């Protein structure tokens, strides 16, 4: 039973799809979708995802991460997975996985740590040189190194909180509007009910755009972090 609007973020509440089953189903769906072009004729959904993939590939190719083997493919695959997880959270009585910090932080930390380890393994001195901005006054060098080091270590947390905050806020507002819509069916006039229905449909469409934009921003930040990789 859902007792408040925040109960939708609890995987032990009554939902139609179990949390662990949902994870497996979505992962298998994403894996099969990436290779469906081999045996499925072109459709609107396939063309849509091809456009999204081309956007991510173009962004990753503009960054230095394109010089890393498999970086563009991993980033594009994760974008599709994250977009599908964000969309699944908009379905009623389906647990929203991407609205939890444990989910986003797991991927954010893995991307961040892999880039840091790869950079220091490839060129240790060049990686250390990125900690000091070019042309900075010499008396500020120790302070700037500490600030840059702290900002680098906080990156996986900030990129994860950004995703969780935007997805969670959208679900909360959507739940509030949905609750008001349920009350309007009984207590309000037909005109008020139509207005609330239009608001609900409009905000739901807006949340679909937010789901895609947040997936893109997450991958965009990862590609920007790869620009500091030592070469």
- pLDDT the model gives residue 25: 67
The pLDDT score that the predictor gives to residue 71 is 85
169-183 pLDDT tens trace:
888 887 777 777 777
Q: For position 19, what pLDDT does the model report?
A: 56
Tokens 């679900």 found at: 171
pLDDT at 158: 92
Supply the pLDDT for residue 1. 42
Task: Round to whole Å and give the CA distance between 118 and 95.
Answer: 35
Q: Output the pLDDT for position 195.
A: 79
pLDDT at 18: 55
Token code pair at residue 104: 């986003």
Residues of the chain with pLDDT under 50: 1-2, 14
């Amino acid at each position: 039973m859902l007792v408040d609007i925040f109960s939708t973020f609890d995987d032990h509440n009554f939902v139609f799809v179990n949390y662990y089953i949902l994870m497996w189903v979505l992962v298998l769906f994403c894996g099969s979708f990436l290779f469906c072009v081999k045996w499925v004729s072109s459709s609107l959904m396939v063309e849509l995802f091809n456009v999204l993939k081309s956007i991510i590939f173009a962004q990753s190719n503009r960054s230095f991460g394109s010089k890393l083997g498999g970086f563009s493919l991993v980033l594009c695959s994760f974008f599709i997975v994250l977009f599908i997880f964000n969309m699944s959270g908009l379905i009623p009585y389906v647990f929203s996985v991407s609205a939890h910090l444990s989910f986003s932080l797991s991927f954010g930390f893995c991307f961040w740590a892999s880039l840091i380890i790869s950079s220091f393994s490839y060129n240790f001195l060049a990686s250390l040189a990125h900690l000091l901005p070019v042309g900075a006054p010499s008396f500020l060098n120790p302070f700037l190194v500490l600030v840059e080091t702290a900002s680098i270590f906080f990156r996986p947390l900030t990129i994860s909180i950004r995703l969780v905050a935007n997805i969670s806020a959208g679900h909360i507002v959507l739940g509030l509007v949905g609750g008001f819509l349920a009350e309007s069916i009984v207590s309000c006039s037909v005109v008020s009910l139509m207005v609330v229905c239009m608001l609900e449909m409009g905000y739901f469409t807006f949340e679909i755009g937010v789901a895609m934009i947040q997936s893109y921003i997450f991958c965009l930040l990862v590609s920007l972090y790869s620009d500091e990789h030592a070469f």
